Amino acid sequence: MEISKYQGYKAIDFLKEDDFLRWNLFQLEEDNAYWTKVMAECPELKPLIEDAVELYKTQVRLNDYPLTSAQVEVYHDTFQHRVTQRRKRRTLTYWLSGAASVLLLLGIHQIYKPNANQEPGLLDFVHANSLSIDSDSKDIQLYVASDQLITIEEKEADIAYNTDSIQVTGKSLAEVNTTEYSQLVVPKGKRSRLTLSDGTTLHVNSGTKVVYPNRFTGDTREIYVNGEVFLDVTHNEKQPFIVRTSEIAVRVLGTKFNVQAYEEDAGTQVVLASGAVQITSNENAKKIDLTPSQIYDYKAGQVSVTRVDVERYISWVQGILYAEDERLDVLMTKLSRYYGEEILFDEGLVNQKCTGKVDLKNDLGEVLNGLTFSFPISVKQENGGYRVSTK
């Protein structure tokens, strides 16, 4: 490979090179020799390469290159050999972690392929590129356009779309020069703060997927949500903001509100903190306007609008979960989703209701054991999760 190709590179550009990523992942002798030669012959690249290595060591991975079948086989065999040689050493954990990164790296082009015949609309894109939230990945996944993936191991990531780049926890990791759609997938047990290109911010809860354009164009700003988000929408009368779910569409100019629309749940809720929103059901196109402190509840084709204490519905952003006359089994589902840990429970919990608040900053075991003082239940750790039984 011509070393001259690296002239003009920035540190972030090296993270897009398969040779650089393979070097950092496997530390093969031939790769060590190659990159030592690059830094020796081009000393001006040395600080950039060192910066790229440090960036690689962070919890962020940027993968956007393909590997041939032959390369996959060679790298896999090399990896297996090195693991065998180091099986008794403490560094085994590192190599197993590396294996997961390789699998993700190799799998991206299989699970995220754009449909060449799809319409450019948001919902068409969502239907053509359905990514499961309940995947095996425990990391936050940010799909930038059709061929670029950023995985984030942090528990709570801060993602921002600037004028020409995407920043993750303050570091610029990708350029944005396209109006294609991005997909942010936050698994159970993780959360994220997302700032869109127009300045709108979203607090994204566990087990949530958000689809949005890298750049807003046209007469509206539209995003898609499967899960729960709290939004602070930047005001723009000329370009209304629309949040779409599988059941409804929420239209706003600029406001703060919470949307809970997990597709696996029975209903969809919108709680308005400030401003005004207009909600349209996908089933009958009926429009309903909300005023602050109102909740829109859509379930099985039926709609209700009532006044509520907004804080109880948006406190999850601050790590507090309120329950008011809520079934205990529903609370268990919310806790399992938030912590990313399995909770098995008896059907008897359906008949018990609870009111109070849960400090989500505490360990899940502490939270569940605390409930045993108020309810006739027992808690036991089981197979890496928890089992809650009625007494």
Q: Quick check: 383 pLDDT over 80?
A: yes
Q: What is the spatial distance between Cα 176 and Cα 199, in angstroms, rounded to a whole number?
A: 15
Q: What are phi and psi of 248, to 5 degrees?
A: -140, 170
Identical fold, 218-312 and 319-390: no
pLDDT: which is higher, 147 or 362: 362
- pLDDT tier at 160, thresholds 50, 70, 90: very high
Q: Quick check: 274 pLDDT over 90?
A: yes
pLDDT: which is higher, 82 or 284: 284
pLDDT winner (highest mean) among 5-9, 191-195, 319-323, 350-354: 191-195
HEC-encoded secondary structure of 35-61 = HHHHHHHCHHHHHHHHHHHHHHHCCEE
pLDDT: which is higher, 94 or 75: 75
pLDDT reported for residue 146: 66
Which tokens go with 258? 């919470």
Q: Quick check: 91 pLDDT over 70?
A: no
CATH architecture assigned to 319-390: 3-Layer(bab) Sandwich (3.55)
Q: Does residue 327 sit in helix, strand or coil?
A: strand
Those residues whose C-beta lies under 8 Å from the C-beta of residue 220, and which sit 6 or more positions away, are 239, 240, 241, 242
pLDDT: which is higher, 128 or 238: 238
pLDDT reported for residue 47: 87
For the segment(s) 218-312, the CATH number from 1.10.540.10, 3.40.50.2300, 3.30.1300.10, 2.60.120.1440 is: 2.60.120.1440
Alpha-carbon dihedral sign for residues 93, 98, 101, 107: negative
Q: Quick check: 387 pLDDT over 50?
A: yes
pLDDT reported for residue 1: 53
- What are the tens digits of pLDDT across the range 214-260? 889 889 999 999 999 999 999 998 999 999 999 999 999 789 999 99
pLDDT reported for residue 76: 47
Cβ-count burial of 69 within 10 angstroms (0-12 exposed, 13-18 middle, 19+ buried)?
exposed
Residue type at position 219 = D
- What are the tens digits of pLDDT across the range 300-348? 888 999 999 999 999 999 999 988 888 898 999 999 999 999 999 888 8
Q: What is the spatial distance between Cα 207 and Cα 134, in angstroms, rounded to a whole number?
A: 8
pLDDT above 70 covers a percentage of the chain that reads: 80
Extents of the domains making up the chain: 3-111, 218-312, 319-390
Q: What does pLDDT average to over the chain?
A: 80
Q: What is the spatial distance between Cα 32 and Cα 22, in angstroms, rounded to a whole number?
A: 10
Q: How far is CA 155 from the centre of its chain?
A: 10
